[in-house]
Structures are given as structure tokens and as C-alpha cells.
Structure 1
Amino acid sequence: MIKLIPKAHKQPLLSAIAKGDFDSIKNIIEQNKIDINAYDDYSYSPILMEVLTPYGIKNEDDRLKILRYFLEKGADPNLNCKSGYNCLHIAVQQEKLVKALDLFLDFGGDVNSADSNGGTVAYWAIQSFPWRTAGEQRQVHLKVLEKIFMLGADLDHKNKFGVTPRKWLERSSEDVQQLAEKCERLKPVYKSINTDHPEFPTNYTYPDIVKHIRKNLIPLRGEAETIAGEMLRGLDILQDEAYRNGNVNYSKTHKAFAQFILDNLAASTKTNSNETEKITKAVKQLMNSKRPYLEDDVYNYLTDQICLFHKKENNDESETNTKKWWKFWQ
């Protein structure tokens, strides 16, 4: 069962975190005996993630002080948020958070924990660590990467697209490759870390259909073979980009996914002008790269519409039912 920040103390606590007010944070936590691994019931992110990401904390030493307080009291850096990633996955992709990542590793951070796309901490450390840095800052990054290797990083773990950390090593600079080879020769031992992730509530109208599509119609990598599967795959990608990156990496591909969803759902509801208008309005909110949509309502609504599309298609006995989605337009 998911543990939530008590409503009476949620706003004061999150406000203190946003301001980086360490004394207030400590007082609220300790005086009210708030579970250090509790979640915000709005974003469904653990408190530790709230400390890692606020814009109000400008000084990284201040952030590290608050993070250390939480970690020393038992905060688990491996706890996933509702979108399927944890604090390490965030820290490893941002240059300014490299010291926070180092701290998480010292407090049981799991280098092989995977996000919703199967990318491990080790994968992101090699693929997207800011290797353009030089001098002293570069040495800081290399030291953290060495720690990741020596904690038993699985360099052959495939993400859902079939790409491994080792594959990215082939494109890395020589010093990174040499570091990986040195650490592998030392044969580090990985200690499995068993984090008890909570089951997050959903507002889906058809949770069984969602589960069926994700399990049976969306492959580990590449396109889905049905329209419903491809729409849900695209919606998941759009949501992940908005939540994780704030649409920083939003591209023509993301917009094409949104257009694909719009075209198919609008065509499916063309006899109901009100529903078509509602679908159009919802999808349009996912087409603005400069304004990532961070509320669950649109994603839940479109997921429900995809489920209705799937039900309709499966009740249709026509031969188009057996065609792959990209052949519908041929």
C-alpha cells in the first residue's frame, strides 16, 4: 500500500522543500512523524524526489544537505515514481546533480535499477553523462562512473529497444572505455537491492484492457503491430518525455505520435462530434514542445479512448482486424 504525505502537512512540507528551508523541513518531518518514504498524492513522487528536483534550491550544497538528511533517516533512492523512474535516473542525466548521484550510490543506490523503458543507471551514465566537461569537473564524472562500474553495473542489460550500456561504450571516449575495462578486470560483485515499490492507483476506466495492450500488443522494442498498441506506445512515450524531461527532447517524432493518436481516435469517433472535439483538445495539449503537459487527466482520458478503440476493433470481424497498423493506409 502506498504511503502518502498527510494532507495536513503536505503543503507546508512541499513549500519548505521548494524554498530549501532545511530547518522547517526537519521540524515538519520530525514533529509530525512523517514517513520518510511517503509520496505526494498529486505527482506520486517520493519525498526524496521532491527534494532532488525543485527549482527553488539554487545552491547544490544546500540540496545535498537536505538529501543527506533524508537518506540518513532511511529514504530509499531506488523508489520509483508513478512514471517508473527513480531519483538516480534523474540525477544521472543532469550535470548539476552528479554529486547527488554520488550520494545516492553511497546510500544503496542500485546501478542496475531500470526505468520504464528498461534503461538502467549504468546505461544512462554511459549514454548521457555530460562528457563534454573537462579538467576537474570531468574527473568528478569519471570518479562517479567508476563507482557505478564497481558496484556491479550490468553492461549487457538490454533496454526495451534492445540497446545495452556496452553498446554505448563503443561510442564513448577512450578514457571511459579504459575505465570500464579496468573495472571489469577487477570483477566487481553486484549486490541485489530489493526495493518494495508501491502499487500506484490509476483512474483508467478499463484497467484490464490497458494491461492487456501493454503486455500483449506492445513489443519490447520497435513498433506495435496494431493501431491500439501503437497509439498507447506513443502516448506512453509522450508522457514519459513530459514528466521526465519537461519536453527538452521533444522532436518531430513525438509530434507525429500525437498526430497519429489524434487521426485514429478522431476517425473512430467521427459520428460523435462532442467526443471528437474533446479528443482533439486533449491531444493538442500534447503537441506543444514548450509547454509539457504534466497532469494525469489527459493521459488517462486518451488511454480510455484507446481502450474503446481497441474494443471496437476487436468487435469488428472485417479483415482489417488482422492488418498491421501501417498497412491501413496502403
Structure 2
Amino acid sequence: MNTIPEQHRQALSSAIAKGEFDSMRSIIEANNIDLNAYEEQFHTPILMGVLTSYGIKNENERVEMLRYLLENGANPNLNCKAGYNSLHVAVQQQRLIKPLDLFLDFGGDVNLADNNGGTVAYWAIQSFPWRTEGEERQFHLKVLEKIFMAGADLDRKNKYGVTPRIWLERSAEDVKDLAGKCEKLKPVYKASETQQPEFPTKLKYPEIAKHIRTNLIPVRGKADTTEGEMLRGLDNLRDEAHRNGNVNFGKTHKEYADFIASTLTQAPFFDKKEKDKISSAAKKLTYAKKPYLEDDVFDYLTDQICVYYKQKNA
């Protein structure tokens, strides 16, 4: 994984966070920075940093910054460490419809799946049309048409067994008509050749975490085991914070954090110091307006869930 050079990280991150296009461009060009390099702390590519920056208040300015990066080689299909790319972020937020449209023009792959197996087509149909009308709705339909005509696979299942076509069946008539028209044209899908990077991990028990996710978390619904349900909830909390900035954070998300904290702190094999640390970590994930965007808490709690699994099955 190629990271932004250490001597330029702070200045570049600050320019992006403040939405300062000229500063961002000057730093990149003066130091020949790879536009597909990653921010080391959160392991997100530069493009995703601009896409999700809260310091950019004007969406047209965001599009201008993104276009500059794309025209100079930034790849919209690169995943962040959490397993999704810039298209997966943009397609789920109405305010980011213009960036999504732009990504599609620069080789955005509509069939690349996120960490839950959801493609751009899946999220576009599920979210569309964001209760829009008039010209705004027509623009959304235009973007949706681009997705269909890029060869979107409407029958690809996510990890819960749900396909874009299932959501299409529940869509408005204009969306159904558009999908039907595009399918009749038999669009050809051209897969991207994006090579996703290897990400470092600080997990103590990555293999146990992988085992729980693979064998103890079902494709849909609650897990049958306590450790499976804890990790399922933690993964949902991470996904909501990192991908959506807690836009959809609700009662269920807080219940996930509370369940993890109460279950682990009641376990007899953690001492008081560790229990206090667990409670403090889980508490950080309960604030709807303060999404926790670093990996340390999520990785720490994942490890404690793995310890719980090891002790329970010793």
C-alpha cells in the first residue's frame, strides 16, 4: 500500500479538510504526490478524503476538486481499509449524486462489491430516488441509467442473499421502466483492472475474527452465538461510522454498542482494568453526531470478542 509521504501528510490533510483546492493542488504538484496514495491513519485514498471532507461546504467545489484528481489519475475503484470504494460512499448519500455521476465517467466499476457484497447498482436502486421530484429526479434517473448501461449485474447477491433486482421490484414505475429499457439494449460490462492494496492490521487475533465472520455470522438476521452477534453489531457500527458518518445512526446502533459492552464486562475472564477499558471503548461508538472514524477502538473490541470466543470454547 502506497501512503502519502510523511513530510506532506499534515499539510495535505489540512488542505483537504478545509476544502482548500489551490493548497491541495500546490502540495500535490510541488511534491509529485501519487494521487492513489493512502492517508496512513485511516487508510483511505486521497479521492475518498476529498469526497467525505466536511470542510467543503459547496458541492460544486467538491466536484471541481474531485475532477482534478480524476483527470490526473486518481482511481475511484480503490477500496479503503474497511472494504468499500468512493462510489459505494457516494451512491448512498443524496448530496453526493454529482460526485457519483463523475466517478461513472472516470471508469467507476458498477459491479465491484463492498464489504457487505453490495454493488453500486444495489445501493442505487435501494436508495433511489431519495424522494426527489422534477429536474432533480430527472438527474437521478440519468445517473441511474449510466449505472444500468455500464453493465450492472442486477442478479448479483450481497452477503445477505439480496439482489438489486429484488429492490427493483419495489421501485417506482419510472425506475422499473428505465431498467427494462436498458436491459433490452444488452449493455456490455467492462470490469476494471484495479488491484486492491494489502492493508496492515493491528489485530491480535485476525484468524479468529475471520472464523467468526465466516462461520458464526449468518447471511441475514441475528447470529446464533453471542460472539457472532457481538462482532456482527461491531461491524455494523464500523460501517455506519466510516461509510456514512453516522447519517443513519439510530437506536439499533446504540443497542449494538451497549450489548457488546455489557456482554464483555460481565465475562469472568476480564479483570476490572480491562472491563473499564472495554466500557470506555464501547461508549465512544454511541454518539450519533460524533462518528468514530479511527480503527483503534473497533480493532480493540474485535480482539476482546475474540478473547471471549477463545475462553468460551477453551
CA distance in 1, matches of 2:63, 2:281: 39
Whichever of the two has the greater Rg, that structure is: 1
Aligned to 1:145: 144
What is the CA–CA distance in structure 1 between the aligned matches of 2:56 and 2:150, rounded to whole Å?
A: 30
> Which amino acid in the other structure matches residue 17 of structure 1?
I
- Letter in structure 2 aligned against 1:77: P
CA RMSD of aligned residues (A): 1.6
What count of residue pairs does the alignment treat as equivalent?
314
User: Shift in Å at residue 212 of structure 1?
Assistant: 2.0
Give distance in 2, aligned partners of 1:30 and 1:246: 30
8 Å contact from structure 2 (residues 94, 130) kept in 1 = no
Structure 1 residue 270 displacement after superposition: 6.3
CA distance in 2, matches of 1:295, 1:65: 27
Deviations 1:2-33 (A, max 9, x none): 11001111111122223333332222112211
- The alpha carbon displacement at 1:90 in A equals 1.3
Relative to structure 2, which stretch is displaced further, 219-228 or 162-171?
219-228
Q: Tell me which moved more, 105-114 or 58-67.
A: 58-67
Given residue 34 of structure 1, which amino acid in structure 2 is its aligned partner? I
Q: Distance in 2 between matches of 1:188 and 1:271?
A: 56
Please tell me whether the aligned partners of residues 125 and 145 of structure 1 are also in contact (alpha carbons under 8 angstroms).
yes
Distance 1:202 1:271, change over 3 A: closer
Q: Superposition pairs for residues 136-285 of structure 1, below 5 Å?
A: 136-269=135-268, 272-285=271-284
**Match in the other structure for 1:117:** 116
Distance 2:141 2:191 in 1: 24
The alpha-carbon distance between structure 1 residues 18 and 277, as it changes in their structure 2 partners (threshold 3 A), is closer
Match of 1:65 in 2: 64
Q: Deviations over 1:274-325 (max 9, x none)?
A: 222221222222223333222222111111111111111111xxxxxxxxxx
4+ long deviations beyond 3 Å: none
Question: Which residue of structure 1 aligns with residue 125 of structure 2?
Answer: 126
Residues 36-82 of structure 1: CA distance to partner in whole angstroms, max 9, x if unpaired? 10000011110001111112222222222221111111111011111
**Deviation readout 1:241-280 (Å, 9 max, x if unpaired):** 1112222222222222222212221121466222222212
Per-residue deviation, 1:221 = 2.5
Q: Percent identity?
A: 66
Unaligned residue ranges in structure 1 (runs of 5+): 316-330
> Letter of the aligned partner of 1:234 in structure 2?
G
One-letter amino acid of the counterpart of residue 208, structure 1: E
Q: Secondary structure at the match of 1:268?
A: coil
Alpha carbons 1:269, 1:276 under 8 Å: kept: no
